[in-house]
Each structure stands twice: as C-alpha cells, then as structure tokens.
C-alpha cells in the first residue's frame, strides 16, 4: 500500500504532519519515537522577535478538546534558524514547514525573508489569524481584502511554496480561500482554531487570563471537515486539512473531503504518540477500505 503524497515537487512519505503549536520544534518528541516516520513537521509559530506570549493561565480543558491562548510564545526567527532547526536536523532528516506569525505586514515579510535562507524549510505556512495592528487589531484572516493584500505582498518575497492558514472564524471560508488563491498562495491549510472560553465556577471568572482562546480537539472535526470540503470546491489549490484529527479514519475522511495532507494538532498534547499511532494504523484502515494508493482518494467525496 502506497501512502506517499507528492506536493510542492516533494515526496511526503505519508500525509501525517504534526501541526504548528502542538509539537514544539519537533526534536522534543525524538526521545519517544523515530521522527523520520513523519510526513513532515510544522514548526511552532515564529515571529520576528522573541515573544513570551500571554500571561498564565492560558490553557483550559474541555470535554472534547481544549482552549489555548498561548499568544505565539517563541524565541524569534533568528534563534529558530540558528538553534532550533540544527537541533531538529540531528533527529529528523526530511524538510519541514515553517509557520510564520506577525502583527503587521512588515513583520511577516521580515520573518519570511529569513526563512528563505533556511535549507531545512520546504514551505512557509502563513498564519493569517494574527491581529493586524493597522486595522485596529482585526485578524488579517477575517477580511478577504486585507488577507489578499498580505498574501500578495508575502508572495513577492517568498522563495518557497506559500501556504495560507485560514481561520474558521469568518462569514464565508470560501471567500477567504479564493482571496488567497488570487493573491498567489500555493496551498491552503485549514482550519485554525475556533474561538471559545471556559468559566471557573469557584471564582466565577474566565479561566483563561485573556478571557477567550482557540478551541481545538475532536469536537471541531466536523466543522473542519465541512470547511475543507467547501474550499476544495471553491479553489484549485491543494489543501492541508486539520482540526480535531485523532485517528487514521479521520485522515481518510479528511482526504476524501479534499485534503492532500493532514496535520495532527491538539491530540499530540493528549497522546504524545498520536502521529506515530495514526501512521501505523493507516495501513490497517487502507487494507480494510481496499485503498491501495492514498493519493487516489483525495477529493473523492465530491460528486
């Protein structure tokens, strides 16, 4: 059975990629299993300068997932390139996906230019859910015109395949995907987290220090699946699907909806062996469903 997927003129040995923010910089998991079984790794979101992130507490558990408001904590792009990537290269042989965040167009451009120089980076995933300081804090990914302008400007300087990561917190996900396609994106990844909150019954206050955060986990899977399905029909761009994936069966379902690759996010925080177990179980599920070549099922749920 063939699990290989070709994208960006690169052969992914399988479609399973730990999602950004849920796998650190990768090497932290190398004591648990051989990372070289992974299709790739999406690095922790990276900004121009180091960020501490939001004050504690910034995690709240839910019955079907968790809410986080980490706030893009990271050591900054220069340390990522000079220290984190070399550490990862010692335990992982393949290329990775860099995730770029920023609070202004200028910051996005600066970070992308630095990652252009990193030979370990195959593609750049643009997190357009970050607030745009020039638009009063509104996320770049909430307005198709703002999104279009950002992706267009980044594409001008980006020397690697550019993936636009979409937020589900919009009126029409198709409109956002079309804007990214028109601006020159090479692929779409979705979904980023939904917005949620929890309240401490004893203090009667929000658990998260900044009140709300990103809701992820198995509870969002049907929402993610629907949005991947919609974007597949709205654009011709390849899709990286994510949102609540916890099993090989979820992966098959996501690929039938239109995803070429699948990112596993919050489940890594619950089960650090999640990606490994999903990869190993793919053979069993493919055999059961009589799938000989995984690439053949992409988008096959569409009439």
> Known catalytic residue: 130?
yes
Cα–Cα distance for residue pair 107/111, rounded to 1 Å = 6
Q: Which is nearest to 117 in space by CA: 170, 80, 71?
A: 80
**List of residues 6+ apart from 223 with CB closer than 8 A:** 168, 191, 194, 243, 244
Query: Torsions phi, psi of 124, nearest 5?
Result: -120, 125
Nearest-5° Cα angle at 147, 145 to 153: 105
Catalytic annotation, pick one of 22, 130, 158, 180:
130
Q: Which one-letter DSSP state was computed for residue 208?
A: S
- In the three-class reduction of DSSP (H, G, I as helix; E, B as strand; rest coil), residue 63 is classed as coil
Per DSSP, the residues of 39-96 read: S--BPPPB-SS-B--SPSP-EEEETTEEEE-----B--HHHIIIIIHHHHHTT--S-E
Catalytic residue numbers read: 130
């Amino acid at each position: 059975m063939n699990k290989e997927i070709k994208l960006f003129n690169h052969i992914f040995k399988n479609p399973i990629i730990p999602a950004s923010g849920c796998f650190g910089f990768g090497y932290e998991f190398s004591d648990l299993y051989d990372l070289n079984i992974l299709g790739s790794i999406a690095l922790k979101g990276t900004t121009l300068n180091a960020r501490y992130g939001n004050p504690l507490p910034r995690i709240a558990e839910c019955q079907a997932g968790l809410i986080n408001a980490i706030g893009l904590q990271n050591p900054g792009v220069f340390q990522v390139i000079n220290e984190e990537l070399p550490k990862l290269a010692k335990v992982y042989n393949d290329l990775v996906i860099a995730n770029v965040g920023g609070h202004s167009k200028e910051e996005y451009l600066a970070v992308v230019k630095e990652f252009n120089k990193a030979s370990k980076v195959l593609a750049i995933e643009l997190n357009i859910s970050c607030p745009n300081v020039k638009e009063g804090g509104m996320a770049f990914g909430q307005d198709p015109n703002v999104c279009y302008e950002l992706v267009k400007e980044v594409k001008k300087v980006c020397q690697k395949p550019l993936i636009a990561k979409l937020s589900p917190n919009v009126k029409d996900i198709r409109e956002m995907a079309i804007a990214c396609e028109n601006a020159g994106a090479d692929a779409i990844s979705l979904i980023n987290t939904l917005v949620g909150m929890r309240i401490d019954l004893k203090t009667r206050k929000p658990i998260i220090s900044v009140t709300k955060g990103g809701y992820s986990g198995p509870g969002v899977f049907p929402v993610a699946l629907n949005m991947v399905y919609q974007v597949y029909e709205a654009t011709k761009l390849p899709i990286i699907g994510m949102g609540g994936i916890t099993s090989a069966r979820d992966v098959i379902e996501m690929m039938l909806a239109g995803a070429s690759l699948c990112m596993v996010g919050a489940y890594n925080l619950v089960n650090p062996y999640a990606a490994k177990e999903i990869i190993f179980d793919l053979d069993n599920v493919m055999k059961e469903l009589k799938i000989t070549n995984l690439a053949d099922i992409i988008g096959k749920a569409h009439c």
